[in-house]
Amino acid sequence: MEFLTTMGLEVHCELSTKTKIFCSCSTEFGGEPNTHVCEVCTGMPGSLPVLNEQVVEYAIRTGIATNCTITQYNKFDRKNYFYPDLPKAYQVSQLYLPICQNGHIDIEVNGVKKAIRIKEIHMEEDAGKLIHDPWEDCTLVDYNRCGVPLLEIVSEPDFESGEEVIAYLTKLKSILQYIGVSDCKMEQGSLRADVNISVRPVGQKELGTRTEMKNINSFKAIARAIEGERQRQIDVIEDGGKVVQETRRWDDTKGMSYAMRSKENAQDYRYFPEPDLVPIEISDEWIERVKNSLPELPEEKKARYISEYNLPEYDVDIITGSKYLVRIFEGALEVCGEAKEVSNWIMGEVLRLASETSTEVEDIKFSPENLGKLIVLVKKKVINRNTAKEVFEKMFSENIEPEQYIKDNGLEMVNDDGAVLAVVKSVIEANPKAVAEFKGGSAKVKGFFVGQCMKQLKGKADPATVNKIIAEELEKL
Amino acid sequence: MVIDDKMIDYIGELARLRLQENERESAKNEMNKIIDYMDTLNKIDTNGIEAMSHAFPVKNVFRKDEVKPSINREDLLLNAPDKSEEAFKVPKTFD
Ligand SMILES: [Zn+2]
């Protein structure tokens, strides 16, 4: 039997505000347990929440950047459930009037363009962290993350393949980073995805029963989880069974999912309007102001790079896909004005070193201006390309300033043709055997001379000049 | 809607309340009274009246995004029924 897969995504992203959504505790990652916590975010009796204005601002920004309609009158609701990571026994969220609705993100997979619809985006608070204590066989609770503002971005079930899911997440992540609302560090949990997935035989109209996989936190794990769960559902159906609607946890090391302890009433959240918070009214002026303050988005930037700089689409896709690569590109370009060169350096050395040293692009340390300077130094023939690559490795690892470094280490190219000529002459004189071979008609021995000369010049000469002088000198023999 | 035994048990379970037999009966009666009152309200013609989502005619109460000191961890954990040096301690919990 052939099967079709249908998926929907709920993405949680932690906003990069300085403080929590309803109190002034810091949202900084990695503090000592329970040190960014107060009476509000632990739900102590008598405490009252006050909404962080920046959260609303960021939500509006996200809504506009994802083509949503902003709900100009929106409010919070309580989602009730008991779990120790939630000290109030309810999560403040938005059910009835979420701040953004009916948007879409355009993706492209294997040359096919497709719009993924966004049902809604709502504001809510993150939960705390449970740590199992194996010594005492109990659970310890750290509320530092509790109350960190989240946006939950809910898509329509528009995905038909894992590739589409990954393309959407990649695009969404780059939009969120561009507009500065989240750093989207999956390894720190600031971007997490829940995948709803169902399969149905080709020809069947109604969707199959769906399962939900929660909190998968890397793109690769998401791709594997989707494939694993799709296959599991198909196996169940082909064995004559029925897929049960449930929440499953994906174990990426074992490569399989398992059902989470079934809580029969877990879905009954008894939402009701949050009485401790007043409604939010977003004026036309506010929306207009946010719209005007949005930076150029990935799509617009891509089009501009192609038309303005005449760069290949593939390279532009990679560079504009990350706000951090864009920062390098634009910073270096401003100094050297050579778009093609900067793009080549990013696509070549920058990404090569990042991958070799397992550095995330957001953690790249060198200053983009220094890459611009390096490109200028090559263009002015102060150093040759090979030296530039060596210098760049130093820049990449230690963020050195190239001009000074080249001076300090005497890496400048020998631009004195006389000096090159002297070296060429001495090499020819020292290698009569090779000269004889050259005279005997072996052209490839030329390479030997070039190598010997570059060695004597410690690699600091323009290879083209060396080549030219060797050719001239050999001709004279 | 009527609150019957099944419903009261379900609500009790959701609220993590263990109800004794006599408590169940009185809870049932009280809740049925509340539901009856809702029925009364439902009879009122509310055509043309905008839905109210909050008791106070107040909107847009915001805070600036500025960090203020959190509370001292020792004080925070002071009233916890069980705790370690740095965290609240609860019975073993897992998914
Ligand atoms: Zn707090």
Domain extents for chain A? 3-285, 296-408, 417-476
- Per-residue pLDDT at A208 exceeds 90: yes
Q: Hey, of A139, A258, A281, which one would you mutate to test binding to chain B, going by the most B CBs within 10 A of its CB? A: A139
Q: Is residue B65 part of a domain?
A: no
Q: Is residue B27 part of a domain?
A: yes
Pick the CATH number of A417-476 from 3.90.1310.10, 3.30.365.10, 2.60.120.10, 1.10.10.410: 1.10.10.410
Note whether A86 and A146 are within 8 A (CB): yes
Average pLDDT over residues A117-126: 98
Provide the 10 A C-beta neighbour count for residue A197: 26
pLDDT at position A264:
52
**Could you read off the pLDDT of A1-18 as tens digits, one per residue?**
899 999 999 999 999 999
Q: Which of A110-124, A174-188, A396-410 has the highest mean pLDDT?
A: A110-124
- Per-residue pLDDT at A447 exceeds 80: yes
Q: Is residue B50 part of a domain?
A: no
Residues of A in contact with B82 (CB under 8 A): 138
Residue B12 main-chain phi, psi, to 5 deg: -60, -45
pLDDT at position A188:
84
Q: Is residue B51 part of a domain?
A: no
Query: Which residues, including other chains, have CB under 8 Å from residue A114's CB and lie 6 or more apart?
Result: A106, A107, A108, A158, A164
Q: Is residue B64 part of a domain?
A: no
Smallest Cβ distance to B61: which of A38, A51, A261? A51
Q: How far is CA A144 from CA A133, A136, A324, A443, in A?
A: 18, 22, 28, 71
Query: Which residues, including other chains, have CB under 8 Å from residue A142's CB and lie 6 or more apart?
Result: A33, A34, A128, A129, A131, B86, B87
In angstroms, rounded to a whole number, what is the distance separating the alpha carbons of residues B67 and B69? 7
Write the single-letter amino acid at A114. Answer: K
Q: Does A135 touch chain B (CB under 8 A)?
A: no
In angstroms, rounded to a whole number, what is the distance separating the alpha carbons of residues A100 and A98? 6
Instruction: Pull the structure tokens for residue A273.
Output: 């309007």
Query: Which residues, including other chains, have CB under 8 Å from residue A53's CB and lie 6 or more apart?
Result: B62, B63, B64, B65
Q: Domain count of chain B?
A: 1
Q: Is residue B14 part of a domain?
A: yes
pLDDT in single tens digits along all 95 residues of chain B:
788 988 998 888 888 888 888 899 999 999 999 999 999 999 999 888 877 777 788 999 999 999 999 999 999 999 899 999 999 999 988 65
pLDDT at position A120:
98
CATH number of the domain encompassing residue B16 = 1.10.20
| Higher-pLDDT residue of A395, A264 | A395
pLDDT at position A414:
76
Give the structural domain span for B19: 5-42
Instruction: Tell me how far the alpha carbon of residue A31 lies from the centroid of ligand 1, in angstroms.
Output: 14
